[in-house]
Chain A
């Protein structure tokens, strides 16, 4: 999956003056968009930005799809609580998203979905929203399987992203060229990540298998100056 990132506005600042200290305090928000390419068939994509109109499937895969929503578009959100997918199929002949509740499924920034892109030509989905910062850029990883990506639109190895790795953790990236997973396993006794440290592109998600029995925090504490 090739993902092209363009952060439109680097920073919008608003100043507040704390009169008692006579010092300027800046609130910095970064908004922008990420163009994610979708190839025909299955794609494992993450939500890289915080969509201020709601991070629902209906919003994330709606007006951002170049050329409109194609019939046959399917989105699969893996819900770790039920250990199964919540599936949504878009067919205009059926009245849009089926089941209708699928459009309301929330996919927070840093989580991902399988997208089945119909047809034979590549498509593009434009995610728009705000870059999460500070504590908001951290996320929980439940034990077992979940689909995760970076909470911020930056590519790199999972090590550079401060992924909270532990023995027994696995990461499964989806390779669209072979239509199958590429697997990575972390075992310190084997020297760390095997066969190599996985990397994630901007807007790319991967299945994470988190060892253990309790959720773990993936701490980013990202700031725009980072």
Chain B
């Protein structure tokens, strides 16, 4: 009986270890319906337009039950080549893995972009609308050959926006400057 339980536990652990789908983290793919440009505040491309504000980070998040978010890895940054390329992320060298969602399954994700250490503390940030990604890649839990990583077809782009507090500080500073000049 004990042996059976141990075996069962081992099977469950290995099943959950395999239960991870994969996504190719690209925000542009002209053949697969992926076109999600991201802009810095003011409407310039995120990869080059942020200028001295800093590097724009990008990461996919899994939207779970009740809206709980799980950061998916790897994260990336934006293309700095200039031109239209800089509206899109640099595709990481490995695919994004989605824990607890098997290959062939679906996942709800959002794309978050921000300047700073992390999204929550960032004062310039924004995120996409939620997207359902179907047919995740990876090795199916029930066996079979690995599936190709899914693409972010239908993902929508957005523009980074300063948080209200940042905006307020900026306005306050401008007002103070104006007041001082008048004096």
Contacts and interface: CB of A to CB of B under 8 A. Distances in A.
**Do A and B truly interact?**
yes
Interface residues of B, number: 28
Contacts of A93: 28, 30, 83-85
A99 B85 contact: no
B93 A89 contact: no
Interface SS of B by simple majority: loop
B32 interface: yes
Max chain A C-beta neighbours (<10 A), residue from B31, B83, B94:
B31
B145 A94 contact: no
B85 A76 contact: no
A51 interface: no
A101 B93 contact: yes
A72 B22 contact: no
B136 interface: no
Nearest to A206: B145
A181 B145 contact: yes
A172 B22 CA distance: 20
Interface of A, helix, strand, loop or mixed by DSSP: strand
Contacts of B79: 94-95
A85 B146 CA distance: 9
A127 interface: no
Given A95-B85, A98-B26, A119 B31 contact: yes
B22 to A, nearest CB: 6
A38 B148 CA distance: 17
A76 B91 CA distance: 14
A78 B148 CA distance: 9
Interface of A: 42, 70-74, 76, 78, 82-87, 89, 91, 93-95, 98-99, 101-102, 114, 116, 118-119, 145, 172, 181, 183, 207, 209
5 contacts: A85-B22, A86-B93, A94-B85, A114-B148, A119-B31
